[in-house]
Amino acid sequence: MTISVNPDVTNEVLATKAWLDEIVIGLNICPFAKKEFVNNTIHYHLSKTEQVKTALHEFIEQCRYLQNHDELETSLIIYANGFRGFDRYLDLVEYANDLLVDSGFEGIFQIASMHPEYCFDGDDYDDASNYTNRSPYPIIHIIRETSMSRVLSVYNEPEKIPKNNIKLTQKKGTNFFKEVLTRIHKKHNKS
């Protein structure tokens, strides 16, 4: 007997939603996320794969899924078990970007990356600014380019968002973000 599980209520998706609500939206890290979160136009795809080839197949399938569902603005591929090592994850993101181009999706979609060990090149691992991209699980975020262009065109000084986020995260401090992510994991983890 097969039991069907609603992917929107898995621990990984619930943890991701809590992170979006508390960090990304709550601290306004991404000023465009709230509308999509509230309107339920984010597709959450839980991936159980740990292999690059399978992950790339899922990635391109998610691009097609998003392309065929105009009611959705964005898709988050959440890796439940795979790509925990940041370097391996970065390789996956690079391959996914290449596949985006090779599959004809360049200019249609773009990728944003989030990872529990995210570290900007040249930053110390414990620098609070890394928490602008640190998430409960490794995530590849597929974004519609037309939607992003549209919101950026009406947003006042969008080029200041990264700098403002760095100031905010440094003001909050690394311990704040560690505590929030630890709490989210405890709340949404079976073990």
For residue 43, give the 3-state DSSP assignment. Answer: strand
For 150-176, the pLDDT digits (tens) are 777 777 888 899 999 999 999 999 999
Q: Tell me the mean pLDDT in the region 19-36.
A: 93
Statement: the pTM of the whole predicted model exceeds 0.85: yes
Both tokens of 157, joined, read: 């000084």
Does the pLDDT value for residue 5 go beyond 50? no
For 64-106, the pLDDT digits (tens) are 999 999 999 999 999 999 999 999 999 999 999 999 999 999 9
